[in-house]
Structure 1
Amino acid sequence: MEQNFCPECQTEMHWHDNHYHCEDCGKNWRKQAYCPDCAAQLEKLAACGAASYFCNQCNELKSKSRIRIEFVRAE
């Protein structure tokens, strides 16, 4: 299972109400995927338990092993 660590305090976060929550610093985060070729924000497509990522700029699916994932503050 993948662990998700807070970008600010490096504590493991937990999934809570459609975002990740850090108990130590009290901040909420969401994961965002970016295209490895053009750096555009990717659209996540989920079907039958599998996730795929689509780049609207490149107009193609991107391999999960190549994408860049960042945590951004959830408002």
Structure 2
Amino acid sequence: MAYQIACPACGSEALDPRRSQSECSACHQHFVVTAHCPECDEVLERVQACGAVDFFCNHCNNLVSKRAARYDLRPA
């Protein structure tokens, strides 16, 4: 099962952080997903390879896992 984050509208663990836009499978709200570095709070660059998604912080020059990133969710 893919890693999911909580929906700000209904609270269910239903949003996929690997996408820049995601839909909650429980309440069907659409959100723009922005990942931020847990160290410096800069917006992270998505790095995709062979279906896997991680993030890269250009400020810290580090790879950041999807579990370590901090997410900003805004209604689409």
TM range (shorter): 0.5 to 0.7
Q: In 2 relative to 1, CA 44–21 (structure 1 residues): closer, same or farther, beyond 3 Å? A: same
Check whether the contact 1:54–1:60 (CA below 8 A) recurs between aligned residues.
Answer: yes
User: What is the identity percentage for the equivalent residue pairs of Structure 1 and Structure 2?
Assistant: 38
Q: In 2 relative to 1, CA 45–61 (structure 1 residues): closer, same or farther, beyond 3 Å? A: same
TM-score, normalised to structure 1's length? 0.64
Q: In 2 relative to 1, CA 4–61 (structure 1 residues): closer, same or farther, beyond 3 Å? A: closer
Cross-structure match for 1:51: 53
Say which of 19, 22, 26 aligns to 1:20.
Answer: 22
DSSP 3-state at the match of 1:72: strand
Query: Which whole-Å deviations, capped at 9, do the CAs of 1:51-70 have from their partners, x for residues lacking one?
Result: 12111111221233321123
Say which of 43, 55, 64 aligns to 1:62.
Answer: 64
Cross-structure match for 1:10: 11
Structure with larger Rg: 1
User: How many residues of Structure 1 are paired with residues of Structure 2 in the alignment?
Assistant: 71
TM-score, normalised to structure 2's length? 0.63
Listed as ranges, the gaps of 5+ residues in structure 1 are none
Structure 1 outlier segments of 4+, above 4 Å: 2-5, 11-15
Listed as ranges, the gaps of 5+ residues in structure 2 are none
* Residues in 2 aligned to 1:43 and 1:36: alpha-carbon distance in whole angstroms: 13
